[in-house]
């Protein structure tokens, strides 16, 4: 004789069903991933009345039918149940062939989500309003800058897009314009004026401590190279006879102190740039002052070895962007502690902005300037890196007098 389990109303319960002591109904099943799962409801059938004080909910039998339909369609009932952190990790795992700097950026976002409670939320429970509220809190309560929030959202948005494509969720909660939600407090990286550039170089050259960095800083101001591109240069890339520099790679150092050599930021970044006599002299000074006894070898992802780097740190390893960013910071700090007229923030990237802007102001052909900067799009050259000085505009307006009839 087969005995069937009954509920408190005397109704037969199906396999996997039971009624708990508090009156709730429970259904146990095995999901497509092989794990035991449980669902609960205060009602067995849709027509059952809801116990006093309990929120409206689907009946257990309705939930069972939904599960059966999901499993018949080959979808896990865990749809929308994975956490934001798990989703991002899966997204990053599928991103093959990205640059080391991009991979580092992904890891930074993952590290943040591991500490933030938002990382533990189930993706199916995240609404657009939740995403907006979280980003606002990152800025107002946690003090995150607009650029940092832009980076975080830049990973979450495509990760949630992947979840939509996989039918895990119906809508991407991060599919909105960031500027409409978070205040853009980013400081625009402005080029400095010709006068400021001359004053900055003069100060570096005459300072007993910082004069050792003069040649590199001069090169950055008058070539427009990215600092990572300069750090990746070797002696073989410098042709003093033909006055050219071959830019074929960039050098980075990761947070775990690994040195990474990879191609320039874009394919257009691979270029040969002409240099003037004064820049040639700076390169010659660097080459002549190199310690020939110390010759570190760094290999790229293909196992190709590189040596003969122009600048080494105290440990005999190639200097990287962080070194130069600190040097520039110390130089500006010392300058502003001495002079009443303050020097604006100058960084290796400001040198690049300055070079591009001054070339544009001098009337250089935009396509030629695009090549020198290693930009893949002319719009980047014209819209981002060419900050025009008021004096230049004033001179052009004055020149219009000659055209008046």
User: Would you say 160 and 86 are in contact if contact means Cβ atoms under 8 Å apart?
Assistant: no
How far is it, in rounded angstroms, from Cα 366 to Cα 21? 78
How far is it, in rounded angstroms, from Cα 80 to Cα 142? 27
Q: Catalytic annotation on 385? A: yes
How far is it, in rounded angstroms, from Cα 172 to Cα 91? 14
Phi-psi category of 35—alpha, beta or left, where left has phi over 0 and alpha has psi -120 to 50? beta
Catalytic residue among 89, 352, 358, 387: 352
Backbone Cα Rg of the chain? 31
Catalytic residue among 11, 103, 349, 371: 349
Helices (DSSP H) in 224-320: which residue ranges?
227-231, 277-288
Nearest 5°: phi and psi at 383? -95, -25
Q: Catalytic annotation on 292? A: no
Residue 234 DSSP SS3: strand
Q: Catalytic annotation on 29? A: no
Catalytic residue among 121, 132, 205, 265: 265
Catalytic residue among 153, 197, 353, 375: 375
Catalytic residue among 144, 226, 252, 387: 226
DSSP 275: -
Q: Catalytic annotation on 327? A: no
- Chain-centre distance for alpha carbon 227: 17
How far is it, in rounded angstroms, from Cα 189 to Cα 387? 9
| Long-range contacts (CB closer than 8 Å, 24 or more residues apart) made by 96-101 | 99/262, 100/252, 100/254, 100/260, 100/262, 101/252, 101/262
Catalytic residue among 43, 252, 385, 387: 385
Q: Catalytic annotation on 226? A: yes
Which residues are the active-site residues?
226, 265, 349, 352, 375, 385
């Amino acid at each position: 004789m087969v005995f069937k389990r009954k509920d408190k109303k005397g109704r037969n319960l199906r396999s996997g069903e039971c009624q708990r002591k508090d009156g709730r109904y429970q259904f146990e099943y095995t999901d497509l991933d092989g794990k035991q799962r449980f669902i609960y409801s205060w009602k067995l059938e849709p027509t059952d009345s809801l116990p006093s004080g309990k929120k409206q909910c689907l009946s257990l039998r309705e939930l069972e039918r939904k599960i059966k339909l999901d499993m018949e369609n080959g979808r896990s009932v865990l749809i929308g149940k994975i956490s934001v952190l798990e989703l991002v990790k899966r997204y990053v795992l599928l991103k093959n062939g990205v640059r080391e700097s991009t991979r580092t950026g992904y890891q930074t976002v993952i590290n943040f989500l591991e500490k933030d409670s938002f990382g533990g939320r189930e993706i199916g429970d995240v609404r657009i309003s939740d995403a907006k509220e979280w980003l606002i809190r990152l800025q107002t309560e946690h003090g995150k800058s607009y650029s940092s929030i832009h980076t975080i959202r830049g990973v979450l948005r495509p990760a949630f897009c992947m979840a939509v494509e996989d039918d895990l969720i119906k809508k991407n909660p991060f599919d909105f314009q960031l500027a409409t939600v978070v205040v853009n407090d980013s400081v625009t990286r402005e080029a400095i004026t010709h006068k400021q550039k001359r004053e900055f170089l003069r100060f570096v050259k005459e300072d007993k401590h910082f004069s050792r960095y003069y040649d590199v800083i001069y090169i950055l101001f008058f070539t427009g190279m990215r600092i990572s591109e300069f750090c990746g240069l070797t002696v073989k890339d410098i042709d003093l006879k033909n006055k050219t520099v071959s830019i074929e790679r960039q050098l980075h150092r990761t947070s775990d102190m690994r040195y990474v050599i990879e191609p320039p930021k874009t394919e257009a970044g691979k270029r040969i740039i002409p240099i003037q006599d004064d820049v040639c002299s700076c390169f010659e000074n660097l080459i002549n002052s190199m310690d020939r006894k110390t010759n570190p070898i760094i290999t790229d992802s293909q196992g190709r070895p590189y040596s003969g780097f122009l600048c080494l740190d105290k440990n005999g390893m190639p200097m990287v962007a962080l070194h130069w960013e600190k040097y520039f910071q110390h130089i500006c700090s010392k300058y502003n502690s001495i002079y009443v007229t303050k020097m604006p923030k100058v960084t290796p990237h400001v040198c690049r902005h300055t070079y591009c802007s001054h070339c544009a102001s001098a009337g250089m052909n935009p396509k030629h300037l695009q090549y020198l900067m290693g930009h893949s799009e002319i719009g980047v050259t014209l819209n981002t890196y060419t900050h025009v000085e008021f004096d230049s505009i004033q001179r052009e307006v004055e020149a219009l007098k000659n055209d008046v009839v």
